Structures are given as C-alpha cells and as structure tokens.
Amino acid sequence: MIEAHSLTKRYGERTAVEDLSFTVRPGTVTGFLGPNGAGKSTTMRMLLGLDAPTSGRAVVNGKSYAAHRAPLHEVGAMLEARTVHTGRSAYNHLRVLAATHGISTDRIEEVIDLVGLRAVARKRIGSFSLGMGQRLGIACALLGDPATVMLDEPVNGLDPEGILWIRHLLKGLAAEGRTVLVSSHLMSEMALTAEHLIVIGRGRLIADTSVAEFTARAAGEVVRVRTGEAEKLRGLLTGAGGSVTAQEGGVLSVTGLSSERIGRIAADHGVALAELTPQQASLEEAFMELTRNALEFQAPAAQLVGTGGEGGTE
Ligand SMILES: Nc1ncnc2c1ncn2[C@@H]1O[C@H](COP(=O)(O)OP(=O)(O)OP(=O)(O)O)[C@@H](O)[C@H]1O
C-alpha cells in the first residue's frame, strides 16, 4: 500500500506538487495520470525517498521508504531517467544489484525469464533497444520480489507488442496481490491497463476514481454537429457556453451543451443541420477536458482543443 499525505514539493518559486493526498491499494493496477509537468515523477521520487517533500509524508507499506531495512524487497521502482552502465551485460547489471541486496542468482534467472530478456541477457546494455532497456528496468524493479511496484511511464516509446506485454505483466503483478502504481500521460493506455486512476494536474489532485466511473462520466458529453454554416453555428454555440472544435467538412465537436440545446439554438437562428449526434467522448478527450485548466495555467500560449472560438482542431 502506498499513501501520500499532503505531499508538497517546491523547487524555489516553483511548486511541483501541492498538498497531494491519495492511497494506492494492493491487488489492482493504479494509473497515475497527468499531463507533462503535472508532477508525477516528482511525486514518485518522494514516495521512493529520492526527494524530500517540502511538507507532507509519503508512506509505503506502513513506513517511509528510508525506514525499510530491505527496501528492494518492499518497493521495486523504475523511474524514467535510467542510469545504467552501458558497458555491462544485462545479466551482470542484475548480478551487481542482487549482490548488494543479498538476492540469490536463482532470482536473477527468474526475472530474466519473466521480462523476456533471456536471448540477450549476456549482451551489452549499450546495444539494447528502448524496449529491451525498459524490460531490464522492470527486471531491476522486480528483482527483490517486492510487494509494491512503481513504474514511471513504462510504455513510453514501446512498440505495440511491448505495450501489450507490459499490460499483461502489470495485471499479473496486481493479481498476485501486489500494489502497482504506474504513471502515464496517456489516458487510453491506462484505461486498458488500470482499474483505478489518480489524476493530477499542476501538482494537485484532480480525480481519484475507478476507470469504470471515469469512462461512464465521459459518455455522452460530446455532440457531433454537421452544417453548411459551421462558422456561424460555432459562434452561437460558443456564445451559449459550449466548447467547440471545428473539423473538416463543416463538422463541429461540441462539449458543454446537450444535443437538445444545440438543436434549439440552431433552429432559433435558422441554421440548418445535416447531422446532430451525441457521442461517447474518447477517453483521451475526457482526460484532456479534465486537465484542461491545469494545462492552460502551464502553457497559456498553447492551442487547446475546444477552448471555444480559437479555430483549433486537434
Ligand atoms: N529538480 C527540479 N528543479 C526544478 N524544478 C523541477 C525539478 N523537478 C521537477 N521540476 C518541475 O516540477 C514540475 C513537475 O515535474 P515532474 O517531472 O514531476 O512532472 P511529470 O508529471 O512527471 O511530467 P513528465 O510527464 O513531463 O515527466 C515541472 O514544472 C518541472 O519543471
């Protein structure tokens, strides 16, 4: 179990994480989601005792990370920045790590098979592809057979086969009763991997919810409209409080207004509609909507989806 109690981290003037509290429970994969710069890595570093919080407390399996006598057996982690000695073989890298933690060579063999690196275990890490490097990072994280596993963006840069593999691995680890926290900035990936979500933006908690709830909430919020007078209708809908994204062929994607309301506004202003369809928002769109304010604060110049009247498409 992982607990964040009012975690705050400031770097000088900059607040990376602010008053963040959540609990990650064993037995399920928990996705840690947020746009770039939201504070995911900083939070994970605090949970692992690699960064001291400015205030608040991080607790893993009942204690702070530093208080564990054999932390590698308690928490296995892969952070994004990998500092692996590139001249060494994967096997030797694992051997050094195992030796410093009193882990048997049998376990090295086990994790090599578990992550599918058997064929290249004796090759130099420097020659590894990104996917092989990720597998090695996961092997290191699992070496101590930890009850809690934390992985920072493990699917980044992986091919579809690698993504599928990680998905199955994480689910398997959770099914064994472990606590699994995995960060990502991709909602669509997390929806397939995680059962629970912790979403942050600008270092603050935005949502702590099951994937099922999140998906249900995302349903029916977007309405697709097609008309020969897209510009006119767009202005009207934006004026009525909707968020509108223009697409090709006179198609508008509208959030914040029901299809009934859109139909009524169009009729009142004599705009003929060729199509008016309530849609299930893609999870990615729902995620962007949820974190939009956080994004706007961080990148005011960025063109954002559906901010109304700015002429942007995705
Ligand atoms: N050592 C540091 N010194 C100063 N600012 C930092 C430091 N580490 C992180 N930050 C800032 O804290 C904020 C959160 O960064 P963090 O890397 O935790 O976000 P993230 O959600 O992991 O993003 P990404 O997905 O891009 O890795 C960012 O604004 C970042 O610039």
> Tens digits of per-residue pLDDT, 202-253?
999 999 999 888 876 665 578 899 999 999 999 999 999 999 999 999 999 9
| C-beta of 40 in contact with ligand 1 (< 6 A) | yes
**Residues 78-126: tens digit of each pLDDT:** 987 555 667 899 999 999 999 988 899 999 999 999 999 999 999 999 8
Answer whether 135 contacts ligand 1 (Cβ < 6 A). Answer: no
Instruction: Say if ligand 1 is within 6 A of residue 312 CB.
Output: no
User: Measured from the CA of 298, which atom of ligand 1 is nearest?
Assistant: 29
Distance 41 CA to ligand 1 centre (A): 7
42 lines ligand 1 (CB under 6 A): yes
299 or 249, which is more confident: 249
% of the chain surpassing 70 pLDDT: 89
Q: Is the CB of 298 under 6 A from ligand 1?
A: no
* Model confidence, pTM: 0.77
Amino acid at 147: A
Cβ of residue 47 lying under 6 Å from some atom of ligand 1: no
Q: What's the ipTM?
A: 0.94
Instruction: Give me the pLDDT at residue 280, please.
Output: 66
**CA of residue 27 to ligand 1 center, whole Å:** 29
How open is the CA angle 141-145-148, to the nearest 5 degrees? Answer: 70
pLDDT digits (tens, 9 = 90+) for 27-71: 999 999 998 889 999 999 999 999 999 999 999 988 887 787 777
- Nearest protein CA to atom 3 of ligand 1, as residue: 11
Please name the residue whose Cα sits nearest to atom 5 of ligand 1.
Answer: 11
Mutate to test the pocket of ligand 1, among 7, 18, 41, 152 (most ligand atoms within 8 A of CB): 41
Average pLDDT over residues 262-284: 89
Of all protein residues, whose CA lies closest to atom 17 belonging to ligand 1?
41
* pLDDT at residue number 261: 94
- Ligand 1 centre and the CA of 7: distance in Å? 15
Q: Are 197 and 209 in contact (CB under 8 A)?
A: yes
Give the model's confidence band at 15: pLDDT under 50 very low, under 70 low, under 90 confident, else very high: very high
Could you report the per-residue pLDDT of 3-13, keeping only the tens digit for each?
Answer: 999 999 999 99
User: Cα–Cα distance between 125 and 144 in angstroms, integer?
Assistant: 21
